[in-house]
């Protein structure tokens, strides 16, 4: 196991932030996360965290996955002191970090996310993993399933994933899997592209619009300048930024601030009154 003391890192907030759908609260202080073929349990009490894995795995995979080297205090410190709303949102969600997640998994996840809620997205992801992923067992004896590969989904009928509660999104996922397998979409090339180029490439995928492309850029490719706009962000923009969010002021990390706003709009009701 690896013990870490880290400020601006809160497992509960990350789990609820709408960026990761394979992270689960196991008990009051214990969380689990599945990423790729890996399974991890983490325990947190205040700023003290215990990662139940060996140090090489922590350094090579989980440390970058949770962006533990990111200076989130500096992002918060740069917020305009006159922007009371954003300051409150950042304080409320100050433990959120932008995860470095698998590109293919994020493409599928945010295709599924359209016109959907967080609980239902979790269920859809769990369904396709259990049906088309690989069954594994962690060192703790926990049974889990890997995320389905493009190859495991590409040959399906376009409506096959309706059985996993994807509804009309089934065809989006199946067609995109086919595009990856056929070589029409090069995931390795996408990983190397700068933000604007990657966003344009993602917009070419069947079923991918601006919001989904920006979510993939932010949560998989770690382009922190991506600023996904969904109904919650739209609500914040209409209430506090009628002329648009000041992205130029926060160039290069406005996606971090977007997450604070999203989380605040979702869970900060009492604090906003």
Residues acting as catalytic residues: 211
Length of the chain as a residue count: 273
d(CA 224, CA 108) in angstroms, rounded, equals 20
Packing angle between helix 103-112 and helix 210-219, nearest 10 degrees? 150
Which residue matches tokens 């990350």?
14
In the three-class reduction of DSSP (H, G, I as helix; E, B as strand; rest coil), residue 4 is classed as: strand
Closest CA to 40 of 19, 76, 15, 77: 15
Alpha helices in 157-253 (DSSP H): 169-182, 187-192, 195-202, 210-219, 231-240
**CA 263 to chain CA centroid, nearest Å:** 13
d(CA 2, CA 62) in angstroms, rounded, equals 11
d(CA 9, CA 7) in angstroms, rounded, equals 5
In the three-class reduction of DSSP (H, G, I as helix; E, B as strand; rest coil), residue 241 is classed as: coil
* Contacts of 192 by beta carbon, 8 Å cutoff, 6+ apart: none
Answer whether 78's CB lies under 8 Å from 121's CB: no
């Amino acid at each position: 196991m690896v013990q870490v003391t880290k400020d601006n890192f809160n497992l509960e907030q990350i789990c609820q932030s709408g960026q990761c759908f394979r992270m689960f609260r196991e008990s009051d202080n214990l969380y689990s996360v599945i990423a790729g073929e890996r399974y991890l349990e983490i325990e947190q009490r205040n700023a003290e965290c215990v990662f139940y894995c060996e140090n090489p795995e922590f350094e090579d995979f989980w440390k970058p996955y949770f962006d533990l080297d990111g200076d989130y205090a500096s992002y918060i410190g740069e917020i305009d002191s006159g922007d009371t709303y954003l300051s409150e949102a950042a304080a409320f969600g100050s433990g959120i970090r932008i995860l470095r997640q698998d590109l293919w998994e994020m493409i599928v996840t945010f295709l599924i996310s359209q016109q959907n809620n967080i609980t239902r997205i979790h269920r859809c992801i769990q369904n396709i993993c259990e049906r088309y992923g690989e069954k594994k067992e962690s060192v703790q004896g926990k049974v889990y399933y890997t995320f389905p590969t493009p190859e495991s989904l590409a040959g399906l009928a376009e409506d096959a994933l309706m059985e996993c509660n994807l509804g009309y999104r089934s065809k989006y996922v199946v067609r995109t899997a086919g595009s990856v397998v056929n070589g029409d979409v090069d995931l390795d090339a996408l990983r190397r592209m700068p933000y604007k180029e990657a966003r344009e490439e993602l917009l070419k995928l069947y079923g991918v619009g601006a919001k989904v492309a920006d979510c993939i850029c932010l949560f998989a490719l770690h382009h922190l300048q991506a600023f996904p706009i969904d109904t919650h962000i739209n609500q914040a923009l209409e209430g506090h930024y009628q002329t648009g969010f000041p992205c130029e002021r926060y160039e290069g990390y406005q996606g971090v601030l977007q997450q604070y706003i999203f989380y605040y709009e979702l869970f900060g009701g009492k604090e906003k009154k």
